[in-house]
Amino acid sequence: MQPEQTKQRILAAAAELFGELGFDATSTRDIAARSGVNKALLHYHFGSKDELLAALLDGYYGALTTTLAAAWRQRAHPAEQVQDVVDAYADFLAEHRAFCAIVHREVASGRHVEQIVARTLSVLELRIGWFGEGPTAELMQILTSVYGMVVTYFTYGPVLARLTGADPFAADALQARKRHVRRIVALLFAEMAPDAKGT
Amino acid sequence: MQPEQTKQRILAAAAELFGELGFDATSTRDIAARSGVNKALLHYHFGSKDELLAALLDGYYGALTTTLAAAWRQRAHPAEQVQDVVDAYADFLAEHRAFCAIVHREVASGRHVEQIVARTLSVLELRIGWFGEGPTAELMQILTSVYGMVVTYFTYGPVLARLTGADPFAADALQARKRHVRRIVALLFAEMAPDAKGT
DNA sequence: GGCGGATTTAGGCGATCGCCCAAAAGTTGT
DNA sequence: ACAACTTTTGGGCGATCGCCTAAATCCGCC
């Protein structure tokens, strides 16, 4: 087997298990078993369990940066651009549920925060110049709120499923959620900078 | 030492460590060491590590229910009541940072979800009749958003600290955050049900 | 065809985990 | 003072953890 294929198999299995059980609750033996490789290969290819997580996050953040940058370039007006980026972010989280769970849990644990902050910064960097000036306190509040609205929906997916009785990750539910968030974003930007609103 | 005092010491140490390191990364020996009791006492008083977590969550959710119910009764108009409950919830999370971290992480891990859903339901139950009817899809979206806006601020506290360079848990920062959330809640309820808005 | 490096394998080491046990110490009622 | 019960203690069991080692296997190149 190609070594690259081996690494990808390990990464895929690690993503699934870290997402399902959490970093701590997943053993390297679990990952080896699910990916069908020998357990010593994890350390041969990645060095340690922590470095495996780092490699996994690198892949996710790389893909996220590409995705958001692509969404960002589509339209001209700031408000529409934000809408598109939020939409793209929601789609990304829907497609990579494990990523969302991993990041959220590690942040809440206060561990691997350095890695996550650094990567989040490199993603945000793209759009901190959005409004000409640096991020104002107002903008930071809004970013936090929008981020929270989107991320919480995915993180609390199982809880929402129990509360509403419906699958929050079904296509129509996701569509409804995105519509809701878009509406709030529109409200926020309309209030904050009415002159900068697109259309 | 009174057995009740022993239990409280264990619970306090467990709250700190679960909040700082996470449930899995905290050993029963760590908890015993920090609380200054023998490690066998955790199992004598609580049965198992999982039951210790359950007891901890019981205490938190009980206090939360009391706090929110008290805030809920203060004012007459729905919009103001929601504002007060959101404020009280933010204050509660600020005061019990470990609770926020624990719940968020366990939910993201997909474990102990049953316990958390059940307790969340019992807290929400108080106010699901808020608007006469059951929770509409619209209301669920708003609840999720408001919850996400509040909770994410605390969960991502360390990240925000790095991004802004300021302490997000300082009194003035908390005040600013609460003001921001209140404003969004006002916007949402004004749009959703203009006639139900208080004042 | 054989050589050298990369990759894979089985097995296990030391540490740590949650949990349990038998005995000691403390507390209460009579 | 003694007995009955609760609480605390040190020690350790079996399981599992991340990681390592030495040998086997694979593969490109002369």
Find which of B23, B105, B169, B181 to mutate to test the A interface (most A CBs within 10 Å of its CB). B105
Q: Do the Cβ atoms of B152 and A156 come within 8 Å?
A: no
Checking if the pLDDT of A126 tops 70, the result is: no
Who among A24, A149, A164 is closest to B22 (CB)? A24
Which position has the higher pLDDT, B53 or B130? B53
Tell me, yes or no, whether A38 and A92 share the same domain.
no
Tell me, yes or no, whether B57 and B29 share the same domain.
no
Spacing of A43 CA from D22 C1' in Å: 16
Give the Å distances, CA to CA, from A140 to A108, A155, B27: 20, 21, 37
Tell me, yes or no, whether A65 and A144 share the same domain.
yes
pLDDT of the residue at A121: 77
Q: Name which of B29, B55, B26, B56 is nearest B40 in CA terms.
A: B29
Nearest CA in chain A to B104: A108
Quick check: B123 and B61 in contact, CB under 8 A?
Answer: yes
Who among B116, B145, B159 is closest to A120 (CB)? B159
Q: Report the gap between the CA of A196 and the closest CA in chain B (Å).
A: 19
Expressed as residue numbers, the domain containing A78 is 50-197
pLDDT of the residue at A197: 40
Tell me, yes or no, whether B82 and B104 share the same domain.
yes
Q: Name which of B63, B64, B88, B84 is nearest B74 in CA terms.
A: B84
Tell me, yes or no, whether A38 and A55 share the same domain.
no
Residue B122 near chain A (CB below 8 Å): no
pLDDT of the residue at A128: 52
Between A190-194, B75-79, B114-118, B126-130, the lowest mean confidence (pLDDT) is in: B126-130
Asked whether residue A26, judged by its CB, lies under 7 Å from any atom of the DNA or RNA strand D, the reply is yes
pLDDT of the residue at B158: 83
- Which string of DSSP letters, residue by residue, matches A116-136? HHHHHHHHHHHHHTTTSS---
Tell me, yes or no, whether A70 and A117 share the same domain.
yes
CATH code, domain carrying B20: 1.10.10.60
Residue A153 near chain B (CB below 8 Å): yes
Spacing of B139 CA from C23 C1' in Å: 60
Between A145-154, A173-182, B43-52, B158-167, the lowest mean confidence (pLDDT) is in: B158-167
Token pair in block for residue A188: 């926020």
Cβ neighbours of A113 in B, within 8 Å = 158-159, 162
pLDDT of the residue at B113: 77
Give B198's pLDDT tier (boundaries 50, 70, 90): very low
Which position has the higher pLDDT, A101 or B132? A101
Tell me, yes or no, whether A101 and A10 share the same domain.
no
Number of domains in chain B: 2
Q: How far is CA B64 from the centre of its chain?
A: 7
Question: By CB neighbour count within 10 A (0-12 exposed, 13-18 middle, 19+ buried), where does B95 fall?
Answer: exposed
The whole-number average pLDDT for the span B122-139 is 65
Checking if the pLDDT of B133 tops 60, the result is: no
> Directed axis angle between helix B137-155 and helix B78-95, to 10°?
30
Q: How far is CA B8 from the centre of its chain?
A: 20
pLDDT of the residue at A106: 81
Cβ neighbours of B160 in A, within 8 Å = 140, 144
Residue A187 near chain B (CB below 8 Å): yes
Who among B104, B144, B187 is closest to A160 (CB)? B144
pLDDT of the residue at B199: 37
Checking if the pLDDT of B128 tops 60, the result is: no
Nucleotides of D under 7 A from a protein CB: 6-12, 16-22
Token pair in block for residue B102: 């624990």
Tell me, yes or no, whether B70 and B159 share the same domain.
yes
pLDDT of the residue at A163: 79
Which position has the higher pLDDT, A88 or B165? A88
> Directed axis angle between helix A78-95 and helix A171-192, to 10°?
150
pLDDT of the residue at A125: 66
Tens digits of per-residue pLDDT, A21-65?
Answer: 889 999 999 999 999 999 999 999 999 999 999 999 999 999 999
- The number of beta carbons lying within 10 Å of the beta carbon of residue A175 is 11
Who among B20, B101, B162 is closest to A117 (CB)? B162
Q: Do the Cβ atoms of B105 and A109 come within 8 Å?
A: yes
CATH code, domain carrying A143: 1.10.357
pLDDT of the residue at A198: 40
Q: Do the Cβ atoms of B117 and A141 come within 8 Å?
A: no
- Return the HEC string of A150-172: HHHHHHCHHHHHHHHCCCCCCHH
Tell me, yes or no, whether B99 and B54 share the same domain.
yes
Q: Report the gap between the CA of B146 and the closest CA in chain A (Å).
A: 7
Checking if the pLDDT of B196 tops 60, the result is: no
Quick check: B159 and A116 in contact, CB under 8 A?
Answer: yes
CB pairs under 8 A between A and B: 151
Number of H helices, E strands in chain A: 10, 0
Which position has the higher pLDDT, B64 or A189? B64
Gap between the Cα atoms of B39 and B85, Å rounded: 39
Q: Name which of B84, B157, B147, B158 is nearest B116 in CA terms.
A: B147
pLDDT of the residue at B117: 81
Q: Do the Cβ atoms of B144 and A149 come within 8 Å?
A: yes
For chain B, what is the mean pLDDT?
A: 86
Give B112's pLDDT tier (boundaries 50, 70, 90): confident
Checking if the pLDDT of B179 tops 70, the result is: yes
Tell me, yes or no, whether B41 and B113 share the same domain.
no
> Nearest nt to B37, CA vs C1'?
D8
Q: Do the Cβ atoms of B111 and A21 come within 8 Å?
A: yes
Residues 71-130 of A with CB under 7 A from strand D: none
Tell me, yes or no, whether A73 and A31 share the same domain.
no
Tell me, yes or no, whether A74 and A25 share the same domain.
no
pLDDT of the residue at A139: 83
Checking if the pLDDT of B3 tops 50, the result is: yes
Who among A137, A147, A180 is closest to B176 (CB)? A137
- Helix, strand, coil percentages (3-state) for chain B, rounded to 5, are 80, 0, 20
